[in-house]
Chains A and B, each alone.
Chain A
């Protein structure tokens, strides 16, 4: 996005939206912005790096539960147990929870937990040259396993209900409109920082290297680089962003349940990016906002048909605009240049065709 576009977006998000939108709509927008933060990471890992990650919910959840645990402990007060633990018959605070009473530790874990998991997974999987659909399935299986783990450990995680009834966030009263507006601004700022940071990374030599690996991993190996390492870094960055987004999601929505980060949630994170255009950072962010807004509208107006609309939207984009909405301009330009009938779109060299799922 050009500097002018960035400035306009910043004014819209930071000034216009808080003035124009009702508290209820602003809350929803804050939630969409959390998903957009995840989308920035997906655009890096998938759009640039060719890693079709169907399990971002895991990292979203790791960040979210880390934050949720801290907020529940702060809520309960020193020496007391979070509400759900007493319901589950837990009598003393589990060891795992204790360090999360510390806010600094929590903030570090919000980033560190997803990064550690991503680095472990990445260095195992990418070194073995697991790619494409295999990687996608693996990441999705991880999301499924994570949910099973969370649901199974009811006393530790709140099980299916998750962590609910969160009312304060670092001194902010989450039932107060002014405080909520502040929370919204924090989320918008984090999104801005994530966007600018990843944009810088994508424009660097590292970013070029990542695209080069997407388009010709074996060739890059013979340039003396270790593709596994380069991909792991991008994957870890995307995981960190998802973790931060999850941590912000908890105060914005006031709860976190396994349904927020399971297989379906992970797929929805990805569909937004696909619709907006994964090769473009702005497209990914816009797609995530648009997709989640559409989800809200359809769930309000036509609750039964949303799933069909979602599926149809995805199919339409994959068939006619595989580069997403952001890629449409380029696609039309190509078509105009060829003056041909509607034809399959050209892809960036070696990039994934839809039927192959990924490179």
Chain B
């Protein structure tokens, strides 16, 4: 078993009296592809927000590669190697697809390179373009992209940052079946050389692409295991899958 990359211990998050996360312990090992599921309000996005510095916990610690992340500013956490996407993709619509990737690849650049125009396409950006399959649209403004393409661009923008941990918040929400399949494939490619945590609602997507799953419920850890184990857990069926079935 490889060592832990992310260790969340005793995490409590309270929003004006509402306990979003309660005494949460959570560990992610190097190289893992983990899915995080749970009904609405379970605290999935809150957990990602705490890891990435957007939300301050009331107590608890988040250690990434042995270093404490709580209390650091967002861009510092990114620089430490933690990247994330958002539920609603935010790409820079006026910039071309290549420029979006180039910008995302840029924070390690020295100042003189920042003050020059982009000339050509760096290897990292070209590789990312290839991975996300938007090579044909490279010079088009990102504003013309479809919803699915935007999400892939976001994932590309994440990969070019060379993070050691990727946090994806509902990457297939609102996607067509085809787009889901492509996103799933993309996820597998990316997971080959990254540690990835995916928040996802979509059970079908989960069954096809997840190996280990963590279930949150009302801000607490409900259970953890393989997809089969989790699906077989009666508590999970009650709080999550049962409801999904009813809804279906």
A contacts, CB < 8 Å to B: 201, 203-206, 208-209, 211-212, 215-216, 218-219, 221-227, 348-350
Further contacts, 19 of them, CB under 8 A, given A208-B92, A212-B92, A224-B75: A201-B115, A204-B117, A205-B102, A205-B118, A206-B114, A209-B103, A209-B106, A209-B114, A221-B75, A221-B78, A222-B78, A223-B103, A223-B104, A223-B107, A224-B107, A224-B161, A227-B75, A348-B93, A349-B94
Bound CA–CA A224/B108 (angstroms): 9
Contact among B83, B108, B117 with A222 in the assembled complex (CB-CB below 8 Å): B83
Contact with A along B40-54 (1 / 0, CB 8 A): 000000000000100
Contacts of A222 in B (CB 8 A): 52, 74-75, 78, 83-84
B residues whose Cβ falls under 8 Å from a Cβ of A: 52, 73-75, 78-79, 83-84, 86, 90, 92-95, 99, 102-104, 106-109, 113-118, 143, 157, 161
B94-A204 in contact (CB<8A): no
Q: Could you say which residues of chain B place their CB within 8 Å of the CB of A216?
A: 90, 92
Most buried by A among B78, B92, B103, B113: B92
Q: Which 4 A-B pairs have the closest CB atoms?
A: A224-B107, A349-B93, A224-B78, A219-B90
Interface of A is mostly: helix
For B118, the chain A residues whose CB sits under 8 A away are: 205, 208
Closest-CB distance, A281 to chain B (whole angstroms): 16
Bound-state CA distance A212–B84 (Å) is 17
Which residues of A sit under 8 angstroms from B115, Cβ to Cβ?
201, 204-206
Q: Is the Cβ of B92 less than 8 Å from the Cβ of A205?
A: no
Chain A residues with CB under 8 A of B95:
208, 211-212
CA distance A224 to B164 in the complex (A): 14
Chain A residues closer than 8 Å to B78, beta-carbon distance: 221-224
Query: Total number of A-B contacts with CB less than 8 angstroms?
Result: 78
Check if A205 sits within 8 Å of B93, measured CB to CB: no
A204 engages B116 (CB within 8 Å): yes
Main secondary structure, interface of B, reads: loop
How far, in whole Å, are A222 and B108 apart by their CA atoms in the complex? 13
Question: A215-B94, A224-B161, A349-B93 in contact; A208/B103 too (CB < 8 A)?
Answer: yes
Alpha-carbon separation in the docked complex, A153 to B29 (Å): 66
Task: Assess the B114–A349 pair: CB atoms within 8 A.
Answer: no
Task: Assess whether B113 is in contact with A205, with CB atoms less than 8 Å apart.
Answer: yes
List of A residues within 8 angstroms of B79 by Cβ: 224
Rounded to whole angstroms, the CA-CA distance of A226 and B74 in the bound complex is 9
23 A-B pairs (CB sep. < 8 Å):
A203-B117, A204-B115, A204-B116, A204-B117, A205-B106, A205-B114, A205-B115, A209-B103, A209-B114, A211-B92, A211-B95, A215-B92, A215-B93, A216-B90, A219-B86, A223-B104, A223-B157, A223-B161, A225-B107, A227-B75, A349-B92, A349-B93, A349-B143
Instruction: Knowing A205-B116, A205-B118, say if A225 contacts B92 (CB, 8 Å).
Output: no
Contacts of B73 in A (CB 8 A): 226
A73 to chain B, nearest CB (A): 37
Q: Give the CA-CA distance A215 to B78 in the complex, in Å.
A: 20
CB B121 to nearest CB in A, in angstroms, measures: 13
Task: Identify the closest chain A residue to B95 (Cβ).
Answer: A208
Which residues of chain A are near B90, meaning CB under 8 Å? Answer: 216, 218-219
Closest chain B CB from A137 CB (angstroms):
26
CA distance A226 to B106 in the complex (A): 12
Min CB distance, B77 to chain A, in Å? 9
In the complex the two chains form, is A225's CB within 8 Å of B93's CB?
Answer: no
What's the Cα separation between A345 and B161 when bound, in Å?
A: 35
Residues of A within 8 A of B83 (CB): 222
B14 smallest CB distance to A (angstroms): 22
Least CB distance from A331 to B in Å reads 16
CA distance A357 to B232 in the complex (A): 55
Which residues from chain A contact B157 at a C-beta distance below 8 Å?
223
> Which of A206, A208, A224 has the most CB atoms of chain B within a 10 A radius of its CB?
A224
Q: How far is the CA of A205 from the CA of B108 in the complex (A)?
A: 13
In whole Å, how far is B156's beta carbon from the nearest beta carbon of chain A?
A: 12
CA distance A219 to B94 in the complex (A): 14
Chain A residues with CB below 8 A from B161, complex form: 223-224
A222 to B107, CA, bound (A): 10
